[in-house]
Amino acid sequence: MFENLTERLSKIFENLRRHGRLSEDDVNQAMHEVRLALLEADVHYSVVKSFTQRVKTRAVGQNISNALNPAQQVIKIVNEELIATLGEPSSLNLKGNRPYVLMLVGLQGSGKTTTAAKLAKRLRGQGERVLLAAGDPYRPAAVQQLQILGNQIDVPVFYEDGLTPPKLVEEAYQTARKGGMSVVILDTAGRSQLDETLMDELNAIAKNVPISEILLVVDAMIGQEALNVAEGFRKDLPVSGLLMTKIDGDARGGAAISIREVTGIPIKFLGVGESLDAIEEYNPQRLASRILGMGDMLGLIEKAEAALDQEEAEKQAKRLMDGEFSLEDFAKQIKQMRKMGPLGQIMEMFPGQMGQVARQVDPQDAEDQLKRIEAVINSMTVEERRKPKLLNASRRRRIAKGSGLEVQMVNQVMKRFREARRLIKTLQKSGGKGFGRMMG
């Protein structure tokens, strides 16, 4: 979502780095370009105005031209002010008597039902006993959708046909209390637009049970309209937090930058993909870093820790240190990497040039390449995977036929494998220093 903005800002910063010293005119010109980049990204005009003014005041006021590295000083100020604009992180309010009740509200199509399941899976992974309540009897198949998602994540879903949403929520809460549940997540009905009937029903639900959080689910793809939606709900409901969905989409991402400063409602989570794992706690420092093209190494590490098999990773590390690297190891590494999520998202979390390269690669093409590599290796015998030297021309033709690909693809996989093995040997000889140089 922030790809175009990131590219624009990266070019502005690169231009600043070419100056040995920065004059006030240099700073003014840079801020003019930043202002245009933010407006083109659909950031609210009032946010753009206050943001660029704060950066300019600090940059000129600190006599940036005399700094040891003036360009880096300006970038540092931009980063700090962007973090301030994005607002402080705010965790879920899971305090007081259990079960805690999290009520999800929002317009139709914002992703409430899927977000409810994502949130349930995340909380379940943190040791909470979660009950989902299907409080949307109006949208066709809404209840069935939540039940299917509940089955996928092994979380029970409460629903009784014929009950009004306020009564259903009350019954769900009592069921959760008796069953020893710690969290109830309410999936409520939405409308295509804000209306009095919707708000009356949501207020009736909120009066029937003790609500810990009212979380507004907002579709980031709708741009500036997201601000109006947030203001409309806040006017009639005590909204305590925002859940922004479809952050991985291709719309301009200005609403995600503007919404906290304009509405004052804290952002709690970001939906970053379609899978039920694709939800992140809102972290303004990390989001700012990604917007400014600095990567998100902490987020990358967290993805790896959540997805990778620690025992298997340790076994592979030992084999690599012993100089062993077969096609089986190659396939395992690809499989582990794919567990972390879409390859495009992973690569964009790397800082510097690697992240810039990622933005020039078609993510779908990269995913397809990995699938083809796996198909080729899976078409080999165990002996061939362990002894690649056995792969003569006739064996390669058989593997190509078995994988449904051309012999040329088999040759490409072998070339990549040899390159990976050669890199590992180089790093091994350098005692690990080579890896540090490569990452640098």
Burial category of 208 from C-beta neighbours within 10 Å (exposed 0-12, middle 13-18, buried 19 and up): middle
**Are 224 and 162 contained in the same domain?**
yes
Tally the domains of the chain: 3
93 inside domain = no
- Answer for the pair 168, 133: CB distance below 8 angstroms, yes or no: yes
| Residue 310 domain flag | yes
Instruction: Choose the final residue of a domain: 244, 275, 292.
Output: 292
Report the predicted TM-score, pTM, of the whole model to 2 decimal places.
0.67
What is the C-alpha to C-alpha distance for residues 112 and 220, in angstroms, rounded to an integer?
Answer: 13
121 and 219 in a single domain? The answer is yes
Q: Give the per-residue pLDDT at 195.
A: 81
The answer to whether residue 92 is domain-embedded is no
The last residue of a domain, from among 86, 112, 139? 86
Residue 94 lies in a domain: no
pLDDT, tens only, 248-293: 776 667 777 888 888 889 999 999 888 898 898 988 888 887 777 6
Same domain assignment for residues 76 and 131: no
Domain boundary among 258, 292, 326: 292
Residues 205 and 74 in one domain: no
Q: How far apart are CA 37 and CA 52, in angstroms?
A: 11
Which residues span the domain enclosing 212?
100-292
Mean confidence (pLDDT) of the chain: 82
Residue 123 near residue 130 (C-beta atoms within 8 A): yes
Domain for residue 379, yes or no?
yes
Considering the domain architecture, whether residues 234 and 170 belong to the same structural domain is answered as yes
Cα-based distances in Å from 243 to 72, 234, 389? 33, 14, 53
Same domain, 262 and 342: no
| Least confident piece of the model among 20-24, 113-117, 385-389 | 20-24
* Residues 380, 423 within the same domain: yes
Q: With pLDDT > 90 as the criterion, what percentage of the chain qualifies?
A: 30
Q: Are 115 and 262 members of one domain?
A: yes
pLDDT digits (tens, 9 = 90+) for 302-333: 666 666 666 766 676 676 666 677 888 888 87
